[in-house]
Structure 1
Amino acid sequence: MGLLGNAVACMLPIAVVAQAYSAVSLNRRDYTSLAQTNAPLIVYHPQELYYASSIEYMLPHYANLQNSSGVVQPGAPPVFNVTNLDYLFQEGIDASNLYLSVAGQPKGSPYIPAGYEYLYSSKTIGTTAPIYAFIVPKANDIVDIYYWQFCPYNLGKNAPIVGWTGDHVGDLEYMMVRTINGTAATVDYHAHSNTGSTYLVTDPTVTWSGTHPIVYTANGSHGMWPSVGSHVYKQILGIYDLTDETGNGAQWPTWENVYPINYLENGGYTGDQAWLNFNGYFGNPGDTSCLFYSIVGECEFSGGPNAPNRDFTGPPLYTLASKNTANPNYSVYTFQVAASAQVWAAANGITYVAAHQHCVASPSSESTDNWAFVPIVASAAVTSYNITTARCATDFSRYPSAYEVGLCTSAAQSACVTTSGLRNIKEYVGNSAPTHPDKEIIVNDLDIWTWSY
């Protein structure tokens, strides 16, 4: 499949309609159709200057590969394209610490300097960009579809005292639709290093144009949000909020040009998808010499984003839960442990699996922990466990915010040899997430727990 050029966002009426849901049979040949059916309508801010483009459009503008110190990697092709970008991968060389860089450090605050007008993409060139759809089949009839937009430039933020921060070449932002048995179930909106949340498709926060979730992409920085407005994603010095601004501007019906990618966890893409084997950064290394770098973590010109072919084996941003109406004294966790973990456990004297419920107080950041244990099954197959934990506090002053799974030599927290890492929890009551979650919940986690030892 050939890549097309740059995006031109068109103006269409937004039809906010109720999504229709029905279970359907799904097989591999339906995946591309599934990606098209659920592709988002992306709505830009009215003041947007840096629209999406294809990777193919941008690659010839990159001058070299360099490390974070600016040392150029030798042996690069004279002009990068979608079939030769992975030349280091083909040589067995890891490019994960290398930056695909344009000449100089073009700072776009507030406007791109002369000679770098190509970074505006469709401001000057008006064909249609692809939306990159990574299609990831998983267990339990799940197919996760990660929709990535690529923009040649990210405009930073102008913060009090600090000034402009966060300009960078290349910008990759995405949202994800989880389908179960061919039907959309949840939507993840992501912005800037996994800021965002997971929503049921029936949540009124999620709006639709037919079968397509509507995504509002932030002015200049392209973070993905479910609504128009100001969205805080970071604080500076604990005082100043960095916000994404979204609005009703030009619209991009991405389903008209979906670029489907069957996700390969370890790479090995070929042909005009060979560029996906590149695992470095799609922009220059950032400046670290500014006065506020040690506090803010970035200067006016910052590093580009890492490649879009990331680890898509994990769960959504949040694992959804419901209130335990049957017994207000307990939370119940139903989850699955990978066969590899159980085989490892049997070989290492592991006899229990634990559920660790992480509790926080609202609005305080004080946290507590609840642990519960059941015997582990010595099995070379995925096994489902059901564990009941005590509620977060007898006075209901705390609520569950996350949970993880542990493998333990006895039924004690101190005996847990390894834990998997926390998964954030988001409770739903009906179609909406309450402002103050309940203290006891039911989690039926469809994402299989697996980790390295």
Structure 2
Amino acid sequence: MHQQAKNAQKLFYVFVFIYGLFANPSESITPEVEQLIRSWSPLIWLHSEERFLPSTVEFFLPEVTIQDEQSILVQDYVTPETLIGGENSSVLHMQTREPLDCPACYNLDVFFGQSINNGSVPVYTIYREYDDAFNTLDVSYFAFYPYNRGKDACVGVPVNGSCVGAEKNLGNHVGDWEHNALRFRNGQPYIFHLNVHSFGSYYLWNESTNNFHFFLGEEVRTAVDQDNEPVEIEERYEPKYPPTVELIGTHPVVYSANGSHGLWGSPGMAWTTWDNLIIIPWLPSNTSYEGNLNWLNFLGDWGNSAEGCEYEIVTGECELGSGPSGPRSKVDFPDPQPKTSFSLNF
């Protein structure tokens, strides 16, 4: 079974490359498509003890500047309309105006986000239509959090469930984009992607049981070598993905991990995302968004540069990791085949 999953994953990335040569996304939204997007937006259960809430982009950007790889100021007083973008922005990162007291400290008010009551925080929803044999529609639902809280880890010697030596809080980072995605075929759900940071899992729609069933999961574990290059290590992290993703009505129900916000399919505060969706058409990478969507053109890291990396060579994590990339860097599904093909490959 493990080998089958690995083979399926390899085929997935082959499809991403090949079918991308033929896809032709359409440019306008219809009432039917908008209804699908809203009807199937997720219900996100935030943890009952969650302190680091989501926010709007407008809430976060005034608290950061843009810096280059040498931490030289490139842009000050950032707004969604003025944030630098384009290919050259891929080497830049955001940096909080006020310094952190320590790499694992969260002493800035902006980190605690905004209340989700009354639809006050939007979910940024990017949709893409294809002119293929199945009238494919891909929808990605993005939530932004100003801060991701990491986990305590033993950097000493674990003995019988205890840690002999030091413990450190690792994996924190400023800025956190979490999302899930849904592919429709002929107006019906087909496959659901549950994103958990840099990995995730895929669930196929089962009409007879009215839920999504686990299809393929990713297992990821990397560290860095002495040249600061990522390498696989023997102790791989194998997430235990839930077997199904259930619905309330037509809304997939997902659960956000406390502090780190990774989206899992197995509650707390109910975030009814359909109360505030900002619906955004997909654009190819050589086309820029404008106006209050200009911020989508920023291709750098949405958070501070990494600090406190003394244990990274062992754990693969810093106390403060670098910020995540933004929505335009995410690819959840391979592009469908051209209209002349009726292959069932997703």
Give the TM-score taking structure 1 as reference length: 0.55
Aligned residues: 269
* 1:136–1:312 contact (8 Å) kept in structure 2: no
Equivalent of 1:272 in 292, 297, 303: 292
* 2:40–2:250 contact (8 Å) kept in structure 1: yes
Deviation at 1:211, TM superposition (A): 1.1
SS of equivalent residue, structure 2 residue 178: strand
Residues 108 and 34 from structure 1, CA distance in 2 versus in 1: closer, same or farther, beyond 3 angstroms?
farther
**Which residues in structure 2 correspond to 1:31-430 (within 5 Å)?**
31-62=33-64, 64-73=65-74, 76=75, 78-86=76-84, 88-89=85-86, 94-103=88-97, 104-105=99-100, 109=104, 112-113=106-107, 116-122=108-114, 128-138=120-130, 139=132, 140-161=134-155, 163-201=168-206, 202-203=211-212, 205-227=244-266, 248-266=267-285, 267-287=287-307, 290-312=309-331, 314-315=333-334, 336=337
Residues 271 and 70 from structure 1, CA distance in 2 versus in 1: closer, same or farther, beyond 3 angstroms?
same
Give the TM-score taking structure 2 as reference length: 0.71
State the alpha-carbon separation in 2 of the partners of residues 68 and 171 from structure 1.
20
Calculate the aligned-residue CA RMSD, in Å.
2.6
State the alpha-carbon separation in 1 of the partners of residues 258 and 82 from structure 2.
32
SS of equivalent residue, structure 2 residue 193: strand
Moved more, 134-143 or 170-179: 134-143
Partner deviation per Cα, 1:289-338 (whole Å, 9 max, x = no partner)? 5321122232111100011122548429xxxxxxxxxxxxxxxxxx95x6
After the TM superposition, which segments of 4 or more aligned residues of structure 1 sit over 4 Å from their partners?
A: 106-109, 123-127, 381-385
One-letter code of the match for 2:120?
Answer: T
Deviation at 1:382, TM superposition (A): 5.7
Unaligned runs of 5+ in 1: 1-26, 228-247, 317-334, 339-380, 386-443, 447-453
One-letter code of the match for 1:47?
Answer: E
Q: Which has the larger radius of gyration?
A: 1
Residues 149 and 106 from structure 1, CA distance in 2 versus in 1: closer, same or farther, beyond 3 angstroms?
farther
Q: Give the fraction of aligned pairs with identical amino acids, expressed as a percent.
A: 29
Deviation at 1:123, TM superposition (A): 6.1
Partner deviation per Cα, 1:207-246 (whole Å, 9 max, x = no partner)? 111111001011111111100xxxxxxxxxxxxxxxxxxx
Which structure has greater helix proportion? 2
Partner deviation per Cα, 1:392-440 (whole Å, 9 max, x = no partner)? xxxxxxxxxxxxxxxxxxxxxxxxxxxxxxxxxxxxxxxxxxxxxxxxx
One-letter code of the match for 1:100?
Answer: M
Moved more, 274-283 or 178-187: 178-187
One-letter code of the match for 1:274?
Answer: N
**Corresponding residue of 2:345:** 445
State the alpha-carbon separation in 1 of the partners of residues 290 and 109 from structure 2.
31
State the alpha-carbon separation in 2 of the partners of residues 257 and 126 from structure 1.
9
Unaligned runs of 5+ in 2: 1-27, 156-166, 214-243
Residues 101 and 37 from structure 1, CA distance in 2 versus in 1: closer, same or farther, beyond 3 angstroms?
same
State the alpha-carbon separation in 1 of the partners of residues 38 and 102 from structure 2.
36
* 1:131–1:258 contact (8 Å) kept in structure 2: yes
* 2:100–2:106 contact (8 Å) kept in structure 1: no
SS of equivalent residue, structure 1 residue 85: coil
**Corresponding residue of 1:425:** none
